[in-house]
Structure 1
């Protein structure tokens, strides 16, 4: 959507959401275009499955549209609220999945790569990371994913997870140590055997 087609260019997400609540259908398209790529990235990283991520993202946006008429201005950023909803929806899906299917049985999404060996190595690395994250306590896994996979700052993660910044720092530090311990024995098979030790 170009700036000429976007009547909300420069307007904050909250203003676009309020316009939607007041009956402006184009506002929904604008807000979706702004937020969907990052929401999908978050859901895909948490779930490791693009189809499930699409379902979670759709559910999150449906909740946002339902919430729009009651949106309390100035209480939260729309993106932060949406990230929290997506994180909760993904966590619920992971809990159900753990009860029904092991992560080894969940197919990895196809990942375009220059060659088949590179694609296989990328998939092996993602599976190892997904399995390692799944072995962590849920709050640690969520904090690590939001910080190091989504690239969010600690204050934003604190809002999403409804905890203090200090708790975020603690969760990510413990999570990184645990991931390092879990993955340390797999360096060679994942193609990291030539890496220099830190």
Structure 2
């Protein structure tokens, strides 16, 4: 049970009463993050828009039955969006889910290296090449800026398992960026990748 009041609970209750202003407010609040999440997971803006639309359909259906205290709405919404992304990925190709244990990489991903590539297509390509669960962990923590606890809750794993996924993802990203061409023109079909935050593990105190 969440230790704090769900910041979306009051708005969701108004959505359940079909208040037009509340519906518009919820879309304004959640759509940008849903699009960012799905775009990072799928690498396709149009598919991301489809995912966001499907996620909002789920919200409209679920809102009247929502009970505060069972789970944070934002956690549930991230999980719904990710499940829709995985459905889309499975429909397009067989992508193995990385669940194998691995040793923890003690070193952070170099910020200077990431900053140099942050607006380059190399970062998008490296992110897209990650196994699905590693990509999910990176997207939730760095791009969606969830704490370790919240990201682990969305993924349905322990914080320790999340940290292991992040360690492997950072190592794979580092290897991909090291092997990538020094200069690659950004694709006009994809938005520039934002700067990844500091790689210090996030905690609930960071939020």
Q: Is the 8 Å Cα contact of residues 124 and 190 (structure 1) preserved in structure 2?
A: no
2:193 counterpart residue number = none
- Output the CA distance in 2 between the equivalents of 1:45 and 1:141: 8
- Output the CA distance in 1 between the equivalents of 2:125 and 2:172: 12
Match for 1:163 among 146, 157, 161? 157
Which aligned pairs between 1:53-92 and structure 2 lie closer than 5 A? 53-92=48-87
- Output the CA distance in 2 between the equivalents of 1:38 and 1:124: 19
2:139 counterpart residue number = 145
TM-score computed with the length of structure 2 as normaliser = 0.68
RMSD of aligned Cα (Å) = 2.5
2:171 counterpart residue number = 177
Q: Is the 8 Å Cα contact of residues 147 and 154 (structure 1) preserved in structure 2?
A: yes
Larger Rg: 1
Which aligned pairs between 1:38-117 and structure 2 lie closer than 5 A? 38-98=33-93
Kindly provide the CA deviation profile for residues 84-127 of structure 1, in whole angstroms up to 9, marking residues without a partner as x. 1111111221222235xxxxxxxxxxxxxxxxxxxxxx89933x
Structure 1 residue 144: Cα displacement: 1.2
Which consecutive residues of structure 1, in runs of 5 or more, have no partner in the other structure? 1-10, 100-121, 192-198
Aligned residues: 159
Structure 1 residue 28: Cα displacement: 1.2
**Which protein is richer in helix relative to its size?**
1
Kindly provide the CA deviation profile for residues 68-92 of structure 1, in whole angstroms up to 9, marking residues without a partner as x. 1111211222222111111111122
TM-score computed with the length of structure 1 as normaliser = 0.71
The higher-RCO structure (CA 8 Å, 6+ apart) is: 2
Q: Is the 8 Å Cα contact of residues 47 and 90 (structure 1) preserved in structure 2?
A: yes
